[in-house]
């Protein structure tokens, strides 16, 4: 268990993340690991997990990673590629790593994978962060 930091406090206040059942496993030093189960409420008109919810999951991992340093940091943008569809009941893991920080900016990569298999990738996400409080 990590010591509690700004990322933990932020996730506690994140109602949207709670509604999605997102669980913070680890956040420290610009890295974070979170888990989420795909529920029947998350499917789109093609009966697959809605890309928006998958994005929200990755985005929450990104937020946990970039806020683990302390200062309030927000997303300025992101790029996502959907690799394979996710289905109801899939247990997803999001692993966020810091790629680079420069000035008040940062770039973080998030991989979302399925059922504990890091090679069974659901999406790849690259987020751009900006620290708004020094």
- The residue among 35 and 82 lying less far from its own copies, judged by its C-beta, is 82
Question: What tokens does 38 get?
Answer: 């795909």
Q: How far is the CB of 76 from its own copies (least distance, A)?
A: 6
Q: What CA–CA distance (Å, rounded) separates 105 from 131?
A: 7
Q: Tell how far CA 101 is from the center of its chain.
A: 18
Residue in 27, 34, 42, 86 binding its own copies, rule: CB under 8 A: 42
Residue in 2, 5, 14, 31 binding its own copies, rule: CB under 8 A: 14
Q: Tell how far CA 100 is from the center of its chain.
A: 17
Residue 99 burial by Cβ neighbours in a 10 Å radius (0-12, 13-18, 19+)? exposed
Residue in 21, 37, 97, 109 binding its own copies, rule: CB under 8 A: 109
Q: Which residues bind its own copies (CB under 8 A)?
A: 9-17, 19, 40-48, 50-53, 55-57, 59-60, 63, 67, 72, 74-84, 99-100, 102, 107, 109, 111, 121, 124, 126, 128
């Amino acid at each position: 268990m990590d010591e509690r930091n700004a990322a933990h406090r932020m996730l506690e206040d994140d109602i949207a993340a709670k509604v999605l059942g997102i669980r913070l496993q680890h956040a420290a030093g610009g890295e974070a690991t979170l888990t989420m189960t795909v529920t029947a409420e998350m499917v789109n008109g093609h009966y697959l997990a809605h890309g928006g919810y998958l994005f929200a999951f990755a985005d929450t991992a990104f937020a946990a990673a970039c806020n683990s340093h302390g200062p309030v940091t927000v997303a300025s943008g992101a790029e996502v590629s959907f690799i394979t569809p996710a289905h109801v009941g899939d247990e997803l893991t999001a692993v966020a790593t810091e790629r680079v920080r420069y000035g008040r900016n940062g770039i973080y990569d998030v991989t979302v994978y399925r059922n504990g298999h890091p090679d069974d990738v659901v999406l790849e996400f690259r987020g751009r962060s900006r620290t708004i409080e020094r």
